Amino acid sequence: MSNHAEAIVSLSAIRENVATLRAKAGVDLMAVVKADAYGHGLVPVAEAAIAGGAKWLGVALLEEAITLRKSGISAPILAWLLPPGSDFQSAVDHDIDIAAASIMALSEISKVAGTKRPRVHLEVDTGMTRGGFLNEWSELDPQNFQGMEIVGIFSHFARADEPSEAQNLEQRNRFKKMVATLESLGYTNLIRHLSNSAATLLDQPSAYDMVRTGIAMYGLSPDMKTLGSSKSLNLKPAMTLRAQLYLVKDVPAASPVGYGATEFTERNTKLGVVAMGYADGIPRIAKNAGIFVDGKRAPIIGRVSMDQFVVDLGPDSTAVSGDLVTVFGTGESGEFTADDWASASGSINYEVVTRIGPRVPRIYEP
């Protein structure tokens, strides 16, 4: 292994997950590849998702969408986080659909309307109280849409991963009303999209014309407690994170380990120093996670450092300096998973995979 660490990304897992989700939804699927495809790699993942049956790609930033276009991807792309002052002309030039969430945004988009009309999806706030039209929705009239093509309307669930929550039905009903308002202005040929991964898996009535799948297409459960594991959802985790043991050494009992001496060895043991740290995306506060080596788990001991963390290999370990270890994977062999690391750091699997830093090369398996 020439790298201190590497993230192995299975493109076949991405393809299969997208196909599974597309079949479940029964409508078009938008593959959400924002944030470097949740840390998995923007362009390779986008190509795999399209091969798996995704019709659309979704990104947050315009730059992400332009990168996809410059890589030769011709599928429809929606970019939904374009603040005032964004280069809307570039979006039009690259055939990128734009989200608008305010009258100010529509006003700016209308300024770039020419022979080639901007394609716009209107984002509405149905109860998440984040992005989207709220009070301004009642003020809209066709004048606001001059020179542009209104392609779609969309919103975002706040609690779709909690299927029993009344807010989900409230949001869907509010979405229906806001769609009806837009249709009353004469805009009827719309792509309506509301469902995220959790809703795609659990809430068929919210599928409308298209679903947007993020975390599930990477093979991870939107919520282990309410939806179950990847395996129970018929999804395959796409990323395996591996690293090298920089050093293995014998250490006596009662030795303080790491910054702040927050933990001590409980016995004479072997410790392993893993060549990854919080600069690579390993959460500094992680407890009860670790690595998999020699067919067993070895837990973190002490605080995670910027470039390394220490694990207790146990006194009988046969691991040696330079060995390759699994930080997280599918769990099929007993290794820690992204869900385990999320639990160990008080976070969610989304953050665990997305925060793996640029020092860790992505290695793609077809």
Catalytic residues: 34, 259
Strands in the chain per DSSP E:
5-10, 28-32, 56-59, 77-79, 97-100, 119-123, 149-154, 191-193, 210-213, 239-251, 256-257, 263-264, 269-274, 290-293, 296-299, 309-312, 324-328, 362-365
- In the structure encoding, which two tokens stand for residue 329, read together? 């994977």
Check: CB of residue 190 under 8 Å from CB of residue 179: yes
Strands 119-123 and 97-100: parallel
* Residues whose CB is less than 8 angstroms from the CB of residue 114 and which lie 6 or more positions away in sequence, other chains included: 92, 147
Q: Dihedral sign for Cα 322, 327, 331, 336, please.
A: positive
Collapsing DSSP to helix, strand or coil, 239 comes out as strand
Check: CB of residue 45 under 8 Å from CB of residue 14: yes
Tell me, what DSSP letter sits at residue 166? H
Contacts made by residues 53-56, CB under 8 angstroms, sequence distance 24+ = 53/18, 53/19, 53/22, 53/29, 54/18, 54/22, 54/29, 54/30, 54/217, 55/28, 55/29, 55/30, 55/210, 56/28, 56/29, 56/30, 56/31, 56/210
Check: CB of residue 251 under 8 Å from CB of residue 230: no
Distance, in Å, from the CA atom of 174 to the CA atom of 299, rounded to the nearest integer, reads 47
Distance, in Å, from the CA atom of 38 to the CA atom of 366, rounded to the nearest integer, reads 18
